[in-house]
Amino acid sequence: MAIIQFPKDFLWGAATASYQVEGAANEDGRKPSIWDTFSRTPGKIKNGDHGDVACDSYHRYEEDIEIMADLGINVYRFSVAWPRVIPDGVGEVNERGLDFYRRFIDKLLDAGIEPILTLYHWDLPQALHDQGGWANRATVDAFVKYAEVLFKEFDGKVKYWLTINEPWCVSFLSNFIGEHAPGNRDLNLALQISHHLLLAHGKTVQRFREIGISGKIGYAPNVEWKEPFSNRKEDIEASRREVGFLLDWFFDPVFKGQYPKFLVDWFNEKGGTFEIKEGDMEIINERIDFLGINFYTGSYSRYKKGHGFFDSENVDIGFAKTDINWNIFPDGFYKVLLEIKNKYGDIPIVITENGACYNNEPEFGRVKDTGRIKYFQSHLASLRRAMDSGVNIKGYCVWSLLDNFEWAHGYSMRFGIVHVDFRTLDRTKKDSFYWYKQLIRNGWYEY
């Protein structure tokens, strides 16, 4: 057994997203997002689930903040619903929607919890999507104006801002693979959207600086690690393509002002093209203050001609898996964090999502989610290894505070450290909640 210890000023938190927890989809002036529409499309969401009620956090936020205070976190990462604040994406601000976030943020601060506010966690106003969505460059400017409303409203109250959550999911998963809203399968569309998302990020950071907002701003890409199955050149290159699809494609423009040539060439070979206008890359390259990282899983990869988009296949070497069938690969967490440091320098990092799906149900009022605790233990040990190796990690947020609407899986997959009964909406703190609470209080755990 060893003691895994963290600095006294480490940021401990939990995370959620607006569409996954808020509910109140048709209240106080909110209009539909693309996820409201996608959820109503037959066959897209398991069991026909949707986010109309979700965890009902719009009405139960005070109870949820009491849960957070009991947990002892000092930061809470959440997202604002764009269609709640500006229902049509552009135009009038919906004061009733904005007032919810005023109350919510004030209550967080009263509890001694710093907000980490994500501006965009996938709920694009449907009205904007009807005009082309993220493929339309006008959406970039609409996003900046929406961000400016929140910057001015919460300057001094919010110290940590994130622009875009998981741009890979918004672009490629949603518009090339087609698994998430709006469900397209078009490489060129996905490439253009990926560029517009990064441009929206860069312009928003520029506006943050121009207005003179206090605090720190960054973004939150998702990453995975693909370990080469062997040291053969073709296996190494296949793994590099797989990792780069999530990492280099969304990091190089922000940190280096250019797209990675090896992927540009690969996309071109597949017929993939997109438009970059003069000055775009300089905007995307705007300096950020910190980097959010979302990590869950990884695998081993080897070259296989014609297999998948990257001539690469995953090799299962006997990984344990979570209930969503994702590999548990804590060493991949360590390796991808070192990769980020080695490629992009000592940017301060906050782990904005890390967690595991286990579908344990309450038994006599207790949820024994031992698997989730073991997941946290192994991944936090890898996080500590990365810190000891020089990675500048400032904080860690579990995904998720609550069981919630898990996108295409509906309510069938549970990531929370607090169980939610989706019929009664009752909350039950899981064993992982109490384990995490003790870690936060002590600053260490035995592993």
State the binding site: 20, 121, 165, 296, 399, 406-407
Coil, strand or helix at 409: helix
236, two tokens? 């190494």
Paired with 155 in beta bridges are 158
In terms of phi and psi (left: phi > 0; alpha: psi -120 to 50; beta: otherwise), the region of 293 is: beta
> Residue for token digits 């909640």?
433
Contacts of 185 (CB under 8 A, 6+ apart): 175, 176, 177, 178
Provide the 3-class DSSP secondary structure of residue 20. Answer: helix
**Strand pairing category for 160-165 and 222-228:** unpaired
408: helix, strand or coil: helix
Residue 166 annotated as catalytic: yes
Q: Which residue has the tokens 């672009």?
A: 171
Of the candidates 114, 166, 227, 242, the residue annotated as catalytic is: 166
For residue 158, give the nearest of 107, 115, 208 by alpha carbon: 115
State the binding site for substrate.
Answer: 20, 121, 165, 296, 399, 406-407
Q: Is 353 a catalytic residue?
A: yes
| Six token digits for residue 167 | 């741009």
The one-letter amino acid code at 316 reads: D
Q: From the CB of residue 10, how many other CB atoms can be counted at a distance below 10 Å? A: 15
DSSP code string of 207-268: HHHHHT--SEEEEE-EEEEEEESSS-HHHHHHHHHHHHHHTHHHHHHHHHSS--HHHHHHHH
Catalytic residue among 22, 224, 227, 353: 353
> Structure tokens of 82?
């764009």
- Look at the block and give the residue holding tokens 């460059």: 137
Catalytic site residues?
166, 353
